[in-house]
Structure 1
């Protein structure tokens, strides 16, 4: 999927990516409406990163999601599955007819990501802190195969509480896994409250640098910054794994959801779903590049 987008002038590319991000958000809201609740806030906040990953950076064959030469995207935070499904819909790996089955019995779109159920899902997430370790193993294996594929791990800031994350971080640095990109969503919320109140982790960039990683910190809702960060991660001439720390706003693009005090798991009233889509459409029309 990268070939055509690489040919676009930068401004045209940003406009295209903005459309992708808007549609990813829309898909997430449509799926959320099926159950009336869900991790919609995370999906809205993470959509810009997913748009750049799936609609520009990654090598994919939508008709063959298990293609050996593909880039791997691991969803360590399995509760973000609604966000990844939206990206897979936008990337044409999944069909729009499946939106109405989200979270239903026998659906290929369960609430939490399941590798055996969903095309394009690379790991079963949910038990937090596992994704980066799996990504290290995959990156090592691909290097042994002389593969040019990237391994991208997507994780939440709450996973920084897990010791397994830091063991994997040390291992990735030790083995010089320059084919590994770790994306961290710094939305500053966990199920139990504000991330900084649960376990303070700043200064985060300095920590990852000390662990031997190539580090960038960006506004994860600034498409230009996200695009530049992915490109620098691709081109950096260092034998180090890459980490992109992304500060995001939960509910991004839907003002009344952005300002909710607690939006880790959102319950939206029946009459609010159409309002959310309307506000999203207005936000997109107002802010498109």
Structure 2
């Protein structure tokens, strides 16, 4: 299916805000979800091989959301491509829901793996990449990391391992929004030039504007003929599109009241009804 990527990103951002509001006093990770909108738009709207029958489509590309608290836009994207039903997603964070604050594996709905503890997704991605190579599959594995998550030592062990094994079917996208739970990255544990770090460890690595869908797609496509894993450092804004949430650590995880919900919709050009 061919998607209008501009409309897709707008719909995903709006639905992410809706989900945050519907979670009520449970609160939601609004800031981390909004910084990922265009990344999911590029992947699910253009880049990845997907199907409406993900369980039986062996040639599908795999996505691992290692930055698992970015679920708002993850779920919204899967709903947009009709892997998750609207009625199902309306249960987000409700009692007995399948759709929680961290993703739980449900391949029929496009959720390949359960994730919870930060720093584990890339190791998992390496295992999947190796398995696909042994099967002589052309499928790719996409792993989404947070820049704060890159503080984890397990990430860099995985980076070295992937390079040594020449996993050219592995793509890492780092959501570099500059913040983590405790505050600014540079004031917590400054990671410096992430693009250069991946490069030193033997990866192909480039930067992009993480809110420009076409730039994301172009940079991923630029790495078609290589025997190295690929890292895309996506420069993003935490809480992108919502005035009170942009670059505001309070909106890493918070309650979206009705008045703030109305303001958020206004910020993205949607009339509250």
TM-score class normalised by the smaller sequence: over 0.9
Check if 1:272 corresponds to 2:242. Answer: no
Which among 229, 236, 239 is matched to residue 241 of structure 1?
A: 229
Q: Displacement, 1:139?
A: 0.5
Q: Displacement, 1:149?
A: 0.5
Q: Is the 8 A contact 1:73 1:152 kept in 2?
A: yes
Q: Displacement, 1:23?
A: 0.7
Normalising by structure 2, what TM-score? 0.93
Pairwise mapping of residues 204-243 of structure 1 onto structure 2 (< 5 A)? 204-233=194-223, 235=224, 237-243=225-231
**Secondary structure of 2:144 counterpart:** strand
In structure 1, the residue matched to 2:147 is: 157
Change in 2 beyond 3 A, CA 1:118/1:127:
farther
In structure 1, the residue matched to 2:50 is: 60
Q: Is the 8 A contact 2:103 2:115 kept in 1?
A: yes
Residue deviations 1:72-119 (CA, integer Å, cap 9, x gap): 000111111222101101111001112321011111211111115972
How many aligned residue pairs are there?
269
**RMSD of aligned C-alpha atoms?**
1.8
In structure 1, the residue matched to 2:130 is: 140
Q: Displacement, 1:65?
A: 4.3
In structure 1, the residue matched to 2:178 is: 188
Q: Which runs of 5+ in 1 are unaligned?
A: 6-15, 284-289
Q: Displacement, 1:53?
A: 0.1
Distance 2:144 2:65 in 1: 5
Q: Displacement, 1:26?
A: 1.1
**Secondary structure of 2:35 counterpart:** helix
Greater CA drift, 110-119 or 175-184:
110-119
Normalising by structure 1, what TM-score? 0.88
Poorly superposed stretches of 4+, deviation over 3 Å: 63-66
Distance 1:262 1:182 in 2: 27
Distance 2:145 2:116 in 1: 11
Which among 159, 165, 170 is matched to residue 175 of structure 1?
A: 165
In structure 2, the residue matched to 1:10 is: none
Q: Is the 8 A contact 1:188 1:196 kept in 2?
A: yes
Q: Which runs of 5+ in 2 are unaligned?
A: none
Distance 1:223 1:280 in 2: 17
Change in 2 beyond 3 A, CA 1:66/1:24:
farther
